[in-house]
Structure 1
């Protein structure tokens, strides 16, 4: 309890307390009440960062959870080489995110990157872009990287759930003439619904915690087009040395995540009650 209080409770309480002060971390602290919170709701970059985070979450739900679910369906169809395929898809998850970020910065490089080089060689030079330097493509480029990393993680979770389904159910479906895809959509997916919902919830919550991928690849640029809440928080606290304002932003983000968690929990419980009924 003492360790938990020192490492978790005290920082939370201090962050909440600092949010009512104007303080640069070195000089005197000046009490300003709710001014930091009022400033936050007028900060366009901060408000836009939530929009970018929501876009990132929506994109990653597709490229991570849904793609992972599809991959789990493919490798449970009993085809040859599924073990190697499963290992290959999961491998990116074992790499440090810093390594992944620099790897994909090379892939997206506008001068000698793999994507632009490939498009040029097949005669689609007009499709080449400055992928991480264009506000229209930078955020989506990062979403693809996140999907490449975490799709294997969700695939492993769903694969484990599908493996627990009784084989007798499959045998009955085969006797009734069901195809592999019908079994996937009408048996496998419904029977691991709780895992899918958990995966989506995990994807939403980790989306708000994302930092290293954005920090290394774009650091919020270009023109704040990939600025998310966490990267902006770091800039406010460590670059602008505004501890009080940064604390207020952290408190607001914590409340937003808590509200999302409570709403999702109630919706999940409501669905469970309907299914039981």
Structure 2
């Protein structure tokens, strides 16, 4: 509730910092970006993780080797991963556009990090790529807790693998789903590293997240009071979403 530049005396401004956050369209866009980023990452990271886990669980011979391979990206430094993907996304000579050209799909080439309509999703894709292995590992641990008798009984009754996945696997994986969604939500809502490294929040604020905006307010604009106010907004947002999410997921587990 102050205006402070890091030196000198802090000036009391009351709720002015909060009024600015909710009235300035730039801050509103930052909140929107953070929520969209979070939804995209949570849905795709856990969706792909669940699919990979189901496939790996059905082929025990290669399960451990492939599970390790999926975890390799998460072992990298976030900084290194960000710079590598920044190069892969480069419009001229970047690995992704060159790969599309080699398959005769030049029309699909994009300025992945320079187009405001797709930049946020491009950054989110890197986050999914890096941590989908974690989600897969947690789902595989959940699969280990499913009784083989249940699966065998379903197979004897003629239940197809698809129906078994939706009506047996997913309900019995409820605890693993709760853990994965909670961890992914908290991790994405405070995301900072990939937007900072790959785009700096651009183009035109398209990839500016709450974590990155707080960093800029402190270390570039020297607005400590505004940064503190935005930090409170982020903490409250993460807490509310996590509480609502956990309440629903825990209630779902109890019903199952």
2:189 maps to: 208
Q: CA RMSD in A?
A: 1.6
2:38 maps to: 57
Measured in 1, the distance between the counterparts of 2:150 and 2:144 equals: 12
Counterpart mapping for 1:123-134 below 5 A: 123-134=104-115
* Equivalent pair of 2:178/2:250 in contact (CA under 8 Å): no
Q: Aligned with 2:23: secondary structure?
A: coil
1:114 Cα deviation from its structure 2 partner: 1.0
* Equivalent pair of 2:201/2:208 in contact (CA under 8 Å): yes
Matched, 1:265 2:249: no
2:29 maps to: 48
- Structure 1 unaligned spans of 5+: 1-19
CA gap 1:188/1:94 in 2 versus in 1, 3 angstroms:
same
Matched, 1:108 2:89: yes
Measured in 2, the distance between the counterparts of 1:256 and 1:218 equals: 24
* Equivalent pair of 2:174/2:253 in contact (CA under 8 Å): no
1:21 maps to: 2
Matched, 1:181 2:162: yes
* Equivalent pair of 1:77/1:180 in contact (CA under 8 Å): no
1:86 maps to: 67
1:16 maps to: none
Counterpart mapping for 1:142-181 below 5 A: 142-181=123-162
Q: Aligned with 1:81: secondary structure?
A: helix
Q: Aligned with 1:41: secondary structure?
A: helix
1:184 Cα deviation from its structure 2 partner: 2.1
1:167 Cα deviation from its structure 2 partner: 1.3
Q: Deviations over 1:198-244 (max 9, x none)?
A: 21122222111111111101110111110011111111111010111
Q: Deviations over 1:67-104 (max 9, x none)?
A: 10010000011264333222211211111111111111
Matched, 1:225 2:225: no
Aligned residues: 256
Measured in 2, the distance between the counterparts of 1:272 and 1:69 equals: 17
Larger deviation: 83-92 or 228-237?
Answer: 83-92
- Structure 2 unaligned spans of 5+: none
Of the three residues 80, 88, 104, the one matched with 1:99 is 80
1:38 Cα deviation from its structure 2 partner: 1.2
Measured in 1, the distance between the counterparts of 2:225 and 2:249 equals: 36
Measured in 2, the distance between the counterparts of 1:192 and 1:216 equals: 35
Higher Cα radius of gyration? 1
1:111 Cα deviation from its structure 2 partner: 0.9
Alignment TM-score, normalising by the size of structure 1: 0.87
